[in-house]
């Protein structure tokens, strides 16, 4: 039996509270069950050196977990002076995902920095960060469109992410920590509302898996994400 008596393809309770941080250009608190992430977006009128005079902009992301976000204290990476490989992998994934739905030429020579800070972790922190990071980014752009700092919306599609896996020989959508840690197959899917998948990460943790299993997971993810896209649209109106 899944936590909260969820069915195999049922999402955890998802909540998005927009404008959660007053000082940010765009922000939200996103919750997938007991996983909670604060996402903020900051727009700067500058680009990395290698993009100067190109006419194009950039979107990048940073990701971190607060010490109290996990059952045993998570050490601050700043104390060690370097980020872990996991952190770097996740923030690159977030950045790639968000760039896939932004027309960087329309954005112009601006940089959007998306920060995703996990305040409670119960599985799916990277997928929640992408989903909430997009909301924060969209709200920041909307603010600039409203005040005239931007004249054209560079967002070309909505994007969300969700985990899926095989646990005890059954496909489950939106894994919590206990499910994720015991999964025979573990996967994360990043997809847009209208133009398909941006990224698929899947690995056989204890065994190989068939193409049929992967296709089944894709179908269930597409169906489940319809609810997430609707929620994103409602929050960003």
Q: Is pLDDT above 90 for 82? A: no
> For the chain, what is the mean pLDDT?
96
pLDDT band at 81 (very low <50, low <70, confident <90, very high): confident
pLDDT of residue 80 exceeding 90, the answer is no
Which stretch of DSSP H or E encloses residue 190? Answer: strand 185-192
Which tens digits make up the pLDDT trace of 191-236?
999 999 999 999 998 889 999 999 999 999 999 999 999 999 999 9
In the chain, the percentage of residues whose pLDDT exceeds 90 is 93
Average pLDDT estimate for 31-48: 97
Is the pLDDT at 59 greater than 90? The verdict is yes
Quote the pLDDT of residue 78.
81
| 3-state SS assignment for residue 132 | helix
pLDDT for the residue 179? 97
Q: Rounded distance, CA 218 to CA 225, Å? A: 11
Nearest one of 95, 74, 71 to 83, comparing CA atoms: 74
Q: Which domains does the chain have, with CATH numbers?
A: 8-236 (3.30.230.70)
Q: What is the pLDDT of residues 144-189, one digit of tens each?
A: 999 999 999 999 999 999 999 999 999 999 999 999 999 999 999 9
For the chain, give the percent of residues with pLDDT over 70. 100
pLDDT band with cut points at 50, 70 and 90 for residue 108: very high
Rg of the chain on CA atoms, in Å: 18
Q: Is-contact 133 139, C-beta < 8 A?
A: no
| Mean pLDDT value of segment 21-30 | 98
Residue 77: what pLDDT? Answer: 87
Angle at 20 between CA 13 and CA 3, to 5 degrees: 20
């Amino acid at each position: 039996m899944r936590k909260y008596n969820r069915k195999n393809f049922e999402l955890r309770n998802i909540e998005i509270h927009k404008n959660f941080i007053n000082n940010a250009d765009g922000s939200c608190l996103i919750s997938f069950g007991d996983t909670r992430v604060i996402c903020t977006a900051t727009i700067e009128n500058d680009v990395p050196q290698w993009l100067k005079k190109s006419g194009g902009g950039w979107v990048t992301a940073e990701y971190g977990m607060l010490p109290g976000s996990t059952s045993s204290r998570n050490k601050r990476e700043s104390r060690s002076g370097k980020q872990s490989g996991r952190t770097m992998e996740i923030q690159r994934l977030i950045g790639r995902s968000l760039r896939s739905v932004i027309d960087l030429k329309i954005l112009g020579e601006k940089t959007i920095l998306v920060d995703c800070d996990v305040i409670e972790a119960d599985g799916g922190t990277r997928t929640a960060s992408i989903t909430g990071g997009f909301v924060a980014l969209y709200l920041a752009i909307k603010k600039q469109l409203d005040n005239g700092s931007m004249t054209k919306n560079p967002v070309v599609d909505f994007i969300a992410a969700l985990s899926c896996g095989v646990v005890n020989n059954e496909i489950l959508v939106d894994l919590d920590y206990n499910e994720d840690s015991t999964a025979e197959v573990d996967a994360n899917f990043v997809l847009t509302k209208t133009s398909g998948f941006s990224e698929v990460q899947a690995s056989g943790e204890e065994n190989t898996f068939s193409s049929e299993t992967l296709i089944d997971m894709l179908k269930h993810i597409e169906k489940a994400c319809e609810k997430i896209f609707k929620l994103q649209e409602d929050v960003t109106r």
